[in-house]
Structure 1
């Protein structure tokens, strides 16, 4: 009975592998697919210590991950370096783009951007 069920499953699945790809959809290479996946990640912070740097990145699924140098972000994308405000991922061999870099832009001291200081603006009147 088990042999007949497994044989039936094999007969149903094996023609699915033989179906040619859709000729009306553009062919996407592995390197283009990797670049598209890397674009959907975002770098939100880097914690630097004397020994190592750790990046805080947000995946396309909305999951936060701590990334360090030599970690694998996902299959085909190896983290090459993590520095102050940037992360570089190395793509697999054979890709025309050998690496991908994320930078933190405009976020340094962003909370202080709207603060202005003017000593003459406040009038101090004693006793009130």
Structure 2
């Protein structure tokens, strides 16, 4: 039988996963925005940016967006797998949920609230017994 406070772990994990998916959906729209900003900077005579510098800026911006996308997708997958494993009572899910919660504490204000809820649920004795079975 699942403990009552298990939902204090699984529900915030699911909410964090949904927020991460929304962030992944927004990420592709940043490339055209950055190109617009860089284009405006290139046409401004007071900026002092040369064509070579602009090309390097576009390359590094594109690479940074791709790396950010890969890391965010991996983190979203990790959060979803932790959500499912916690619901199934797998032992590693409690430790993973605690790691996600601690890192979520830095994401003020919503991530902080969700991280605190996960920590409260993860340290509940009934949840600990359920997950360590």
Q: Which bracket does the TM-score occupy, shorter chain normalised?
A: under 0.3
Q: Which has the higher helix share?
A: 2
Rg larger in structure:
1
| TM-score, normalised with respect to structure 1 | 0.21
* Greater RCO, CA 8 A, separation 6+: 2
- The structure richer in strand per residue is 1
